[in-house]
Amino acid sequence: MNTTPDSDSDSSVAAATVETDSGDAATPPPVPEPPPVPEPPPVPVLHLPADGVPDVTADAAGLSAAAERLRAGSGPVAVDAERASGHRYGQRAFLFQVRREGAGTWLIDPAALGDLTPLADAIADTEWILHAATQDLPCLAERGLRPRQLFDTELAGRLLGLPRVGLAPLTEDLLNVGLAKGHGAADWSRRPLPPEWLAYAALDVELLHALRAELAQRLEAAGRTEWARQEFDFLTRWRPRPRVDPWRRTRGAGSVRDPRGLAIVRALWETREQAAERSDRPPGRMLSDEAIVAAAKARPSTSEALRALPAFARFRRRGGVWWAAVQAANALPESELPPRYLDDGPPPARYWERRDPVAAARLARVRQAIGDRADALGIPAEVLIAPDLVRVLVWETDGPIDSDQVRQRLQPARPWQLDEVAELIAGALSSA
């Protein structure tokens, strides 16, 4: 180390002391504390819509009036839906919220109304603003409501790489306005709906127009307006993909290893679905996933043994129904037992290392390339390209591939996504 008298080290030491007139070192004066940083003012929270809480439209005359007002309004229409999935069977909507400039907010009761064609026709030719559109599009389509063009505020936030993309956080961060929340998981099938619930529902569309305007500006500034346009156009054509063997999504079913146990999972799941639909209750309240998996692993030989399982303690009232399902599964011939894995695609990525280490290494390289690009763009990797599309491509590719082939095989990825990842994926797949 350099220790000359004029070195930086010595200078810093000298600066740390103050010499008195007599040459003695004195204690340096205290450094004043920096002034406290003032707390930002709290974000104002909306508890009521600006125009008050609207009445619920629940008859044909009211629906006709709503349709006429909405048709006469201007600009995009904000749309939201409330379900009761934790209280009723399925994902059907029990309230629609619709707001348009010049028309105000309308709360529409689809359970009390039959044909919603007047509403569908009134808003068909305008842009819809939704938040997390894939959550609401299926229940809207179930009642004949399908947008021809839309703007998804949640997806716009994700395309911008914003850290918080829930509706309330977005309004706080971008509009400096909070939304009173707390009833999202409520039983929206209840009638009459409490006033505070109606206020909550109306607020879900209160700020969507302002939020859309702010997000559109930011997308334009970031050069990502075209990305958003492609994504939103895709959503107008999107439909939920029917699941093959939906019973396999039973929580914990992956731990059931033998085909006979999987047959029990299937039988109990299907019996539960039928019972839940008949009683209009959530399947999990009829029989828990934990109980299904416990029965599959234990493979009880008597109804008493089934009811004795701790996971069945809450479900013994229907014990005969569940035992009949287990019996049916136990009676199946070997040829009718479900396979451990489906043949309709690659296995979950967590199993790749054990089943095909070479493919697992390919996937790791591709994921790294995608992750690096996503980090550079400041967006989540799953927004850059859907993981399922990548997984299928990598599993089915066992040699070099060029970017054009990647583009062809990553459909229905959007063009902007392919522009960003096609060459990266081709390079990762072609490297040893």
pLDDT tens digits for 222-270? 999 999 999 999 999 999 988 889 999 999 999 999 999 999 999 999 9
Confidence category of residue 19, pLDDT binned at 50, 70, 90? very low
Confidence category of residue 173, pLDDT binned at 50, 70, 90? very high
Residues 252 and 330 in one domain: yes
Confidence category of residue 422, pLDDT binned at 50, 70, 90? very high
Name the residue type at position 151: F
Is position 189 within any domain? Answer: yes
The whole-angstrom separation of Cα 411 and Cα 319 is 47
Look at residue 24 in the predicted model and tell me its pLDDT: 54
Residues 224 and 328 in one domain: no
Number of C-alpha atoms within 13 angstroms, CB side, residue 202?
Answer: 23
Domain boundary among 237, 269, 292: 237
Look at residue 33 in the predicted model and tell me its pLDDT: 79
Could you tell me which residues come within 8 angstroms of residue 130 by beta carbon, excluding any fewer than 6 positions away? 78, 79, 80, 136, 137, 147, 150, 151, 152, 153, 208
Confidence category of residue 20, pLDDT binned at 50, 70, 90? very low
Is position 160 within any domain? Answer: yes
Is position 377 within any domain? Answer: yes
Is position 34 within any domain? Answer: no
Look at residue 64 in the predicted model and tell me its pLDDT: 98
Q: Which domain holds residue 211?
A: 45-237
The whole-angstrom separation of Cα 414 and Cα 234 is 8
Look at residue 180 in the predicted model and tell me its pLDDT: 86
Is position 10 within any domain? Answer: no
Handedness of CA 366, 367, 372, 374 (dihedral sign): positive
Q: Domain count for the chain, please give it.
A: 3
Name the residue type at position 256: V
For residue 4, pLDDT beyond 70: no
* Run of H or E residues at 300: none
The whole-angstrom separation of Cα 138 and Cα 241 is 11
Residues 381 and 316 in one domain: no
The whole-angstrom separation of Cα 351 and Cα 359 is 11
Confidence category of residue 45, pLDDT binned at 50, 70, 90? very high
The whole-angstrom separation of Cα 220 and Cα 236 is 21
Residues 186 and 284 in one domain: no
Please return the burial class of 376, using the count of CB atoms within 10 Å of its CB with bins 0-12, 13-18 and 19+.
exposed
Residues 310 and 360 in one domain: no
Quick: pLDDT tens for 303-316.
Answer: 999 999 999 999 98
Is position 194 within any domain? Answer: yes
Domain boundary among 237, 258, 283: 237
Residues 261 and 125 in one domain: no
Residues 319 and 199 in one domain: no
For residue 14, pLDDT beyond 70: no
Residues 110 and 145 in one domain: yes
Residues 117 and 211 in one domain: yes
Quick: pLDDT tens for 98-151.
Answer: 999 999 999 999 999 999 999 999 999 999 999 999 999 999 999 999 999 999
Confidence category of residue 432, pLDDT binned at 50, 70, 90? low
CATH number, position 402? 1.10.150.80
Q: Find the mean pLDDT for residues 288-312.
A: 96
* Run of H or E residues at 354: helix 352-355
Q: Find the mean pLDDT for residues 352-365.
A: 94
For residue 218, pLDDT beyond 60: yes
- The residue to which tokens 């707001």 are assigned: 99
The whole-angstrom separation of Cα 196 and Cα 53 is 9
Look at residue 241 in the predicted model and tell me its pLDDT: 87
Q: Give percent of the chain with pLDDT exceeding 70.
A: 94
Whether pTM > 0.85 for this model: the answer is yes
Check: CB of residue 80 under 8 Å from CB of residue 136: yes
Check: CB of residue 70 under 8 Å from CB of residue 123: yes
Residues 116 and 201 in one domain: yes
Is position 38 within any domain? Answer: no
Q: Provide the H-helix boundaries in 176-238.
A: 195-206, 208-221, 225-237
* Run of H or E residues at 45: strand 45-46
Check: CB of residue 358 under 8 Å from CB of residue 414: no
CATH number, position 119? 3.30.420.10
Which one is predicted more confidently, 165 or 30? 165
Question: Closest by alpha carbon to 129, among 226, 214, 227, 43?
Answer: 214
For residue 9, pLDDT beyond 80: no
Is position 369 within any domain? Answer: yes
Looking at the chain, how many residues does it have? 432
Cα 116 to Cα 63, 75, 131, 141, 403: the distances in Å are 8, 21, 22, 11, 46
Residues 265 and 231 in one domain: no
For residue 274, pLDDT beyond 80: yes
Residues 220 and 279 in one domain: no
The whole-angstrom separation of Cα 78 and Cα 213 is 12
Domain boundary among 213, 237, 261: 237
Peptide bond into 412 cis (omega under 30): yes
